[in-house]
Chains A and B, each alone.
Chain A
Amino acid sequence: MLKYDLAVIGGGPAGLAAAISAYENGIRSIVVLERDVELGGILNQCIHNGFGLHRFGEELTGPQYAERFISKLSETSARVLLGTMVIGLNSDRYITCVNKYDGVFTIQAKAVILAMGCRERNRGPIGLPGDRGSGIFSAGSAQRYMNIDGYLVGRRAVILGSGDIGLIMARRMTLEGAKVLAVAELMPHSNGLNRNIVQCLDDFGIPLYLSHTVTDIFGKNRLDKVVISQVDDRLKPIPGTEKEFDCDTLLLSVGLIPENELTRTAEIPIDFRTNGAVVYDDMQTESEGIFACGNVLHVHDLVDFVSSESEKAGKKAAEYITGGCVSIHKAATIDIKNGNGVVYTVPQKVVIGGPEKSLEVFFRVREKSEKSIVEVSSGNRIISSFKREFLAPGEMERIVIPRKLLENINESIAISVKSGGTV
């Protein structure tokens, strides 16, 4: 059995930032467990620009962004195990791994950081009907085929879902000579960044059909036709609105799901709204010494936010280790509830009298609104409020609450949106 102070599961953007931050906060015995043959995670196939605007004030590509962290990690004492899959985890922080060189082996760590990322939702959960030939890809799989392996997945494509990966792939396929016929989005608004709507669709004249979904798929061997229909306000297809597209490819960009199978193995409570672990404001889960960050915790829009969240997890894990592994959760904690218009918050729990001067809360709103007020309340008492010019479900929001406002609070607090009007 190997022993480390800190084990980081996953060497993507979250794991990299967490490991570096733990090192910078004094931890020397660190192992990073990565299942792929290289570090960097999904950033390696995200060859487009737009990463790092917040963090570095530059427009980097995915590989460039990853490279900065990979080279920084290589200057630390952290040990990186590539091609290593974690197949077991328990709440005592025993990790079972397997790789080609060492076989099956166990690691015990004083603290563990979960940074496994997420996977794409596929055809099954969205119940797409029709024939079952080839040519239907999740956008990320098609992206890997194109950007890592160097193969075009098809000549004529329809994309379902206007999430960023789908939009990015629309441009990528077009630049490589394929024809993207349409992007269909179930909701009346796009989930992608405006910048991607403009630079990936508008630049190439690719139509975006809002309030539309795929209602039939033809092609017994390879896809040859996709039918999309408009949906009503209950998201049900409206008969008579069908549009047919002769195409050989359908890309699905219909959401990401945090990969928490290991988290479940360790019996760590999961928040069904984020599909990630329930965490305290120190990024620690309900299982002592196990922290979580990045897309395994909740799906982020921008990698910049993944990095900063993960740095916090790394720092807090370091404090936990150097503090003699005493959990601060033994102190009184309160819950953060989703108030009106709020879909989820991270963290879900707060330690009263935590060491920080302020409490940072990330959340997502249910609908678009303008000139709104984000309110933090406890019972009938409003603790704090924040003005927001514009709120949208596709944009993760952040508020910072001064700790001293939380003194003397002993029931839960709620975060809610008072809208100035929907858009």
Chain B
Amino acid sequence: MKEFICTVCPRGCRLKVDEKKLTVTGNGCIRGIEYGKNEAVNPKRILTSTVSIEGGLHRRLPVRTDIAIPKSMLFDCMAVIHGCKTKSPVIAGQVLIENIAGSGANLIASRNM
């Protein structure tokens, strides 16, 4: 049994999810069931950070993964990001690292710089 706060709406129901049977209780509405199952089985997050940039307006360029990655891979991706250096100019959306840490997501620039 795992417990989560549902983030679908501001109400924040406390969900209880049985990981084996995939049953959800404590949900105030039907949307909580889907959320609870995903959080129990394969929680995913978008990772955002910055990378070093040379010749830009600032020292750091904001970056993100283009799609959500497994929550368990956040720190593996951060390790890769720490080694990433880029040079100005960079265009928003430009792919900086493909399939970062084997997560299936690309690391992309968040802005022009």
Bound complex: CA A61 to CA B108 (Å): 11
- If A64-B111, A203-B71 touch, whether A395 touches B10 (CB-CB below 8 Å) is yes
Pick the contact of A67: B46, B57, B71, B92 (CB < 8 A): B92
CA gap between A68 and B112 in the complex, in Å: 11
Give the residue of B5, B49, B57 whose beta carbon is less than 8 angstroms from that of A202. B5
Q: Give the complex CA separation of A37 and B6 in angstroms.
A: 40
B91 to chain A, nearest CB (A): 10
Q: In whole Å, how far is B36's beta carbon from the nearest beta carbon of chain A?
A: 12
The residue on A at minimum CB distance from B7 is A195
How many of B's residues come within 8 Å of A, CB to CB? Answer: 30
B52 touches A (CB below 8 Å): yes
* A122 CB, min distance to chain B CBs, angstroms: 24
Residue of B with least CB distance to A61: B110
A49 and B48 contact, CB distance less than 8 A: yes
B92–A148 CB distance below 8 A: no
Bound CA span A49–B78, Å: 16
Determine how close the nearest CB of chain B comes to the CB of A201; give it in whole angstroms: 10
Q: Are B60 and A150 in contact (CB under 8 A)?
A: yes
Residues in A200-255 with C-beta less than 8 Å from chain B: 202-203
* Interface bin, chain A: 20 to 34
A390 within 8 A of B: yes
B59 at the interface (CB under 8 A from A): yes
Known: A67-B92, A147-B50, A194-B10. Contact between A47 and B62, CB under 8 A? Answer: yes
Q: How far is the CA of A198 from the CA of B46 in the complex (A)?
A: 13
Can you sample 8 A-B contacts with CB below 8 Å? A61-B64, A63-B111, A66-B111, A147-B60, A194-B7, A197-B5, A199-B45, A203-B45
Interface residues of B (CB under 8 A from A): 4-7, 9-12, 45-50, 52, 57-60, 62-64, 71, 74-75, 78, 92, 110-112
**Interface residues of A, Cβ cutoff 8 Å to B:** 37-38, 44, 47-49, 59, 61-64, 66-67, 146-150, 175-176, 193-195, 197-199, 202-203, 389-390, 392, 394-395
